[in-house]
Amino acid sequence: MAILLNYQGHDSTPWAEAFADMLPTIPVHIYPHIPNPLDIQYAVVWHHPHGDLINYPNLKAILNMGAGTDHLDAETELPDVPIVRLLDPDVGNDMAQYAVYWAMHFHRRFEDYRRQASRAEWLSHEVPRTAEYRVSVMGLGLIGTQIARRLALSGFKAQGWSRTEHRIDGVDTFHGSSGLQQMLSATDVLVNCLPLNRQTRYLLNSETLGQLPTGSFVINVSRGAVIDDDALIALLNSGHIAGAALDAFVEEPLPADSAYWRTANVFVTPHISGSTYAKSAARPIADNIIRIEQGKQPFPIHIPPQTT
């Protein structure tokens, strides 16, 4: 038995060290240095090369090293084994902090004060009560639910939308197409937490974004292709949307010629809203490997969209 480890584009060594501590009896092989593919029973991967995972006939599970599964969903062929998403409380906490920070930034008009300070201008602005400021989360999965709860705890009027009905204490929830329209029309800040799949690609387009009230804001902590960039930029330039904090893009790093760099009141961050820390994130992955070895179900199982 052995683990295939590949944190593509990052240093896999801290993960290998963490698994050596947590699972000392299971060898860890960092891709592409795999002595014997027959030994591999667990693939712990992030953006692993397409088509490679079918080369391990004794694989028991694929354990994703992040919350986003779009790279795995794009595979044309995968082994018939469970795909397990990463549920790391530290990642969810970071993403919730990111959303709360930007919601506060937009609500309290801190960018206006920053600009005024550069002109030595002393001028205060009235803002709505926090409890009246409507911050809506699209996508109520594990991360979206955590963000919505944190927004509610921060005093905002927290709202959330999902395709099917969800109930979250302290959060007004909506579902379905009619629910989406109802929520968008009553939103001051929209937080995108949707996964990227065939149903969500460019779901936030000129029609849906146009349903937001004039002067609203957008935060994206999910995937870039959920948003139609041309539509968002047009709405920003027209003033219909007053600003955006964007952490994910169709192409990363964001090209230097992207209009987002030059659009007023757009704040670009390099996909850092939720950082993955090996010391904390390795623990739930190791626990799931132990669960599988004990004949138990890992959690949370991911079901690719094409199989639903």
Copy the structure tokens of residue 187. 């939103």
Two structure tokens written together for 33: 């240095």
- Answer for the pair 289, 59: CB distance below 8 angstroms, yes or no: no
- What is the three-class DSSP state of 36? coil
The answer to whether the CB of 289 falls within 8 A of the CB of 23 is: yes
Which residue pairs from 154-163 have beta carbons closer than 8 angstroms and sit at least 24 positions apart in sequence? 154/100, 154/103, 154/104, 154/130, 155/130, 155/131, 156/103, 156/107, 156/130, 156/131, 157/131, 157/132, 157/133, 159/134, 159/135, 159/183, 159/186, 159/187, 160/136, 161/136, 161/137, 163/199
One of 271, 283, 291, 302 is an active-site residue; which one? Answer: 271
Residue type, position 8, single letter: Q
Token pair belonging to 165: 């009905």
Q: Measure CA 195 to chain center.
A: 7
Catalytic-labelled residue, pool 105, 107, 149, 223? 223
Rounded-to-integer distance, Cα 86 and Cα 88, Å: 6
By the 10 Å C-beta count (0-12 exposed, 13-18 middle, 19+ buried), 181 is classed as: middle
Instruction: Clarify whether 223 is annotated catalytic.
Output: yes
| 52 three-state secondary structure | coil
Asked whether 288 and 282 are in contact (CB, 8 A), the reply is no
Alpha-carbon gap, residue 212 to 207, rounded angstroms: 9
Q: What positions carry a catalytic annotation?
A: 223, 271
